[in-house]
Every structure is written in C-alpha cells, then in structure tokens.
Amino acid sequence: MARAADDPTPGLLLVDKPQGLTSHDVVARARRLLGTRKVGHAGTLDPMATGLLVLGIGKATRLLTYVTGHDKSYEATIRLGQSTITDDAEGEVTTTADASGVTDEAVAAAIAALTGDISQVPSSVSAIKINGERSYARVRAGEDVVLASRPATVSRFDTREVRREGLFLDLDVTVDVSSGTYVRALARDLGAALGVGGHLTALRRTRIGALSVTGVHTLDELFGMADAGEAIPLTPLADAAREILPTFAVTDAEAASLSYGQSLAERGAELGEPSHADDFVHDAVAVNPAGVAVAIMRRVKGKAKPVIVFEPAGQAS
C-alpha cells in the first residue's frame, strides 16, 4: 500500500540540540527538514541546555514514551555562591554569598549525600502541572510555588574539575540520573547544603538509555546534508525499537495475530524472556522472522497483549 501524503518513513532522529532553542523549536525545524508534521520529541531540554534530543518520526512517535522513561546522563557546570529564581543561569539572581572558603572535602561530602536514592523537590519553574497549569506559568505570574518532593535516583555524581573564581566555586560534573530527576535542583540543593547557594550554569545531555550523543548531528549539519542531497540518518523503526526495548521473536502467524490486535497465548517460560535485559520496562518488541518490528507487547494475565501495533493488518507499507 502506498504511503499517504503525510505518512513519513518511521524512525528516530537523534539531534545534538544547540543552546538557545527550545525542544519545540527543534521539532519545528525537523518538520521543515523532513516535510512532515508527524514529528515529536522525548525528554525536553531547556533552551540553555545542549545535547541529545530524540525525535520520533511518523509511527515512531509511539516509541517516545519509552525513551522518556530511561535513565539519563549529563555533563553540567554548577556555580556555588549564587542562587537564582530558576536554579539556572537564565533566572534572576536572588542571593550571592562568599563560597571561596568552601573546601573540596565539604563539596565531596555534600555530593555524596545527594548520590543514590534521594528525595528531591523539583524546580518551581518546571513543567509540572498544578491544577492543570504549568508550575513555571504560575511562577511567572508572581505566585510563590513550592512543589512536593518526589523520589529520584542519582547513580553517579562525579566532579571532573573544580575552579575557584573569586567569590564563586565552579564545578564541572557528570551525573547519571533516573527519569524525572532535575539536575538544576541538584545544583540548588548542593549549594543549600553548603550554605552558599548554587545554580546551574551549563548543561549537556549525553545519553538517554542506550542512545548516546556521540556522533549525533546538529540541526545545521542535517540541513546541510539535505541541501547536498544526502539521506537524513533516521534510525529505522525496527532498529529504534530494539535500541529502546527488549525484543521477542514471533512467527509469521503470531505477527499476523498481533497486527489484528489479538493477544498471544503464553509459550511457557519463553514468553517475556527477551533477547536482552531491560530494567525500565517489562514490555518487549515483537519482531517477525523478516526482522520487522510488528508491535510492542505487554504481559497481561499470562498472555502477550499488543499495546502498540506498528503495522495494522492491511496497512503494511
């Protein structure tokens, strides 16, 4: 069956986001680049931040919810001795203190206390909704917003370099965090623990799950490739699904059943034991003998239920 006018080849496009653009800005430019409206993103990056932004094209937008839930890695710079209303460099400075006397040992101890399973209060200018309205919108309207704490996991919080800049102490750090963890809140809490305040001055996302920023193209590079007639480097749907989720081989008959939205009977101990482990999600990608990703399956009451069907019956491309 021929593709509809706006039925793009599905896949993931990894972009190295530049500073100054919102994630929505990147999506808008990708829509122009690819000539389709069917583009979405996983894991918002603030305008100040750079690094890995994962775009879903066409049917691959259905994978984005799985991308968002994976753990993430960042490289960041934290300035101790100054707090801002946004907990990053884009906000108005609220307090300034002399951090020149803070020792390396004190910093290490405070970082250790923020490593592991912690309870974190998100930044008040986050996109979290309060009674249907974004928290940042309430802050901009002049409200004093304090969000409830939530669990977070910081599995790595390493200091790469320490620079003493007059009253301030700048730390270049690498962090690995669970989904939903706010790195700027880590900067804020580190400064608070040391009694001098702190905020984030730079942030770069380097990894989401198994997806890395290494070798990823910028928007300018992608438009240059298009102008030169080169193919845009999309990760095909089946390959993208394999990178994000465990895989599970199905027969042609089972693939046909899944494409009709039908659940599969459990095949003994084999069902639910995909080709590689994944700590985040219990779902798996059903792959037919030809290597095509057919559906995402979930174990429900002893059966494999298709929760997302990539190629419904009668609509194969």
Contact criterion met (CB below 8 Å) for 123 and 185: yes
> Does the pLDDT at position 231 exceed 50?
yes
Phi, psi at 219, each rounded to 5°: -60, -45
pLDDT, one tens digit per residue, over 127-140 is: 666 655 665 566 66
Distance CA 237, CA 138 (A): 39
**Residues annotated catalytic, as ranges:** 46
Query: 14-18, 64-68, 183-187: which has the minimum mean pLDDT?
Result: 64-68
Phi, psi at 245, each rounded to 5°: -130, 160
Query: 47-56, 151-160, 185-194, 307-316: which has the minimum mean pLDDT?
Result: 307-316
> Does the pLDDT at position 117 exceed 90?
yes
Measured CA to CA in angstroms, residue 109 lies from 15, 106, 112, 159, 167 at distances of: 36, 5, 5, 12, 20
CATH architecture of 11-70+210-235: 2-Layer Sandwich (3.30)
- The rounded mean pLDDT for the chain is 86
Supply the pLDDT for residue 114. 98
Taking the chain, what is the end-to-end CA distance rounded to the nearest angstrom?
5
b vs e for 176-190, b when ≥16 Cβ sit within 10 Å of the residue's Cβ?
bbbbbbbbbbbbbbb
Q: What is the CATH number of domain 72-203?
A: 3.30.2350.10
Give this prediction's pTM: 0.85
Q: Cite the residue boundaries of each domain of the chain with CATH code 3.30.2350.10.
A: 11-70+210-235, 72-203
CATH architecture of 245-309: Roll (2.30)
pLDDT band for 108, please (50, 70, 90 cuts): very high
Give the pLDDT mean for 30-48. Answer: 93
Supply the pLDDT for residue 138. 61
